[in-house]
Amino acid sequence: MTHYQAREDEVRARIAEGLVYTETDAAFLAPARRDDEIFAYNHTPPSDGTERVRLLGEILGSVGARPVLQAPFHAAFGSNVHIGDDFFGNVNLTFVDDVEITIGDGVMIAPSVTLTTTGHPVHPARRADFGRFSEPIVIEDKVWIGSNVVVLPGVRIGHGSVIGAGSVVSRDVPPMTVAVGVPCRVVRKITDDDLTTRTATARFGAG
């Protein structure tokens, strides 16, 4: 094993453990970025659905059947994002995917949502050379995320849950619940009563 390979392996291990690493540490990951392909996607006419699907296949780590992703969208890499079948993402969706973002089937995401796997240390000395840490995000099947939501590193959102507009999700959300707020908290379970209502909750729409 070469010195450079040993160094890469060390940095990958630090990233996987959620430890702080720097821009210089992670420079070898740059070829995994899909900046040009994302630019091309965002400038492809909406009527050319075939080309958009082709480009998504080049950009994302994996993509299921019948994806809809409205332009523009943004990603740190793109190649660390995995989406399932029947995905719908509205405009200005941002993936900060320094590590993996995994999205299940039937997920709907409203405008101007940010999914960020990466944060930064509190002390400024540890932010030298863009010091940061990364933890994967998992969004399970049939989740609905409202407008202007931010999902923070390491969060899992459970099957069927609804995240209300404007929420900041800093901890896991259980399946089949409505969660809202800053910080985002569960306000109730989703039940069969919701089959006859218009909104997720009387007080908070998902957006």
Residues labelled as active-site residues:
120
CATH number of the domain that 126 lies in?
2.160.10.10
- Chain centroid to Cα 67, Å, comes to 15
Does residue 203 lie in a domain region? Answer: no
Does residue 204 lie in a domain region? Answer: no
Distance CA 68, CA 87 (A): 6
pTM, entire model: 0.93
Flag whether pLDDT at 202 surpasses 50.
no
Does residue 191 lie in a domain region? Answer: yes
pLDDT category at 200 given cuts 50, 70, 90 is low
pLDDT one-digit tens code per residue, 81-129: 999 999 999 999 999 999 999 999 999 999 999 999 999 999 999 999 9
Does residue 111 lie in a domain region? Answer: yes
Flag whether pLDDT at 197 surpasses 90.
no
pLDDT one-digit tens code per residue, 10-68: 999 999 999 999 999 999 999 999 999 999 999 999 999 999 999 999 999 999 999 99
Does residue 201 lie in a domain region? Answer: no
Does residue 31 lie in a domain region? Answer: yes
Does residue 205 lie in a domain region? Answer: no
Instruction: Give the domain extent around 115.
Output: 3-195
User: Based on the structure, what is the number of domains in the chain?
Assistant: 1
